[in-house]
Structure 1
Amino acid sequence: MAITEWHEDSECRASIIGQLTRDTVPALWTQLQHWQPQIPQYEVCLKQIERVDSAGMAMLIHLLQHAKSQNCHIMLSFMPSQLNTLFKLSNIDALFAEHIQVTER
């Protein structure tokens, strides 16, 4: 079974490492529901995501909403092409454009 990690790199940046799929999302979301950002903007680096599916996309949407409810704006960096494709196919890419930091992969 794949393991996915939330690794806090600094007080304003974390990385998601591994697969973000229906098999890994429940355990990760259980952990992240209790996360309480204390700053107005936070970066979540997706560079080390090996695979993402629609469950992973949904979890990221919930993470953005969770942070927003605590007055924190999340920027997603190093967006995997799979996730970009899922956003476009779901017709929500425009809704999340303000959360995507343009970076070279």
Structure 2
Amino acid sequence: MPQALQFNAQNGEVVVHGDLDRNTVPKAWAERQQWLPQQTDVVINLEAVSHVDSAGLAMLIRLRSELVANQQTLTLRNLNKQLQQFAQVSGVEGLVSIS
């Protein structure tokens, strides 16, 4: 059963919980102003993401582009193997900073 996607601010980063996929991305994107830090660089911790698909990767790439236009950076932490493989196969691992 799919897990609802949640964003929680903790220790200076946004911790993502649940599924980051085509079912959850549209709502998460529409609500990004509620969970996205303003005027600071953004660190997203993905250790609690249970499932990800290409829509999740696309959202992170689009988020990075939006932040760069606002002179902010995006750093991703604790990517699961699935997301790392999507980024590698898609040839976009260089588009997001991974720590």
Distance in 1 separating the partners of 2:6 and 2:13: 14
Unaligned runs of 5+ in 1: none
Distance in 2 separating the partners of 1:56 and 1:33: 17
Aligned residues: 97
Deviation at 1:74, TM superposition (A): 1.0
Distance in 2 separating the partners of 1:28 and 1:15: 13
The residue that corresponds to 1:24 in the other structure is 24
The residue that corresponds to 1:48 in the other structure is 48
Deviation at 1:36, TM superposition (A): 5.4
The residue that corresponds to 2:10 in the other structure is 9
Task: Give, as a single letter, the amino acid of the residue that structure 2 aligns with 1:5.
Answer: Q
Pairing of 1:1-105 with structure 2 (within 5 A): 2-10=3-11, 12-32=12-32, 35=36, 37-39=38-40, 41-96=41-96, 99-101=97-99
Distance in 1 separating the partners of 2:69 and 2:15: 21
Distance in 2 separating the partners of 1:56 and 1:67: 17
Q: 8 Å contact 2:67–2:74 — kept in the other structure?
A: yes
Change over 3 Å in CA distance of 1:64–1:95 after alignment to 2: closer
Deviations 1:5-60 (A, max 9, x none): 111124x3111110001011111110115645212x22110000000000000011
Task: Give, as a single letter, the amino acid of the residue that structure 1 aligns with 2:63.
Answer: L
Query: CA RMSD for the aligned pairs?
Result: 1.6
Unaligned runs of 5+ in 2: none
Deviation at 1:95, TM superposition (A): 3.3
SS of residue in 2 equivalent to 1:38: coil
Q: 8 Å contact 1:36–1:67 — kept in the other structure?
A: no
Give percent identity, aligned residues only: 27
TM-score between the two structures when normalised by the length of structure 2: 0.87
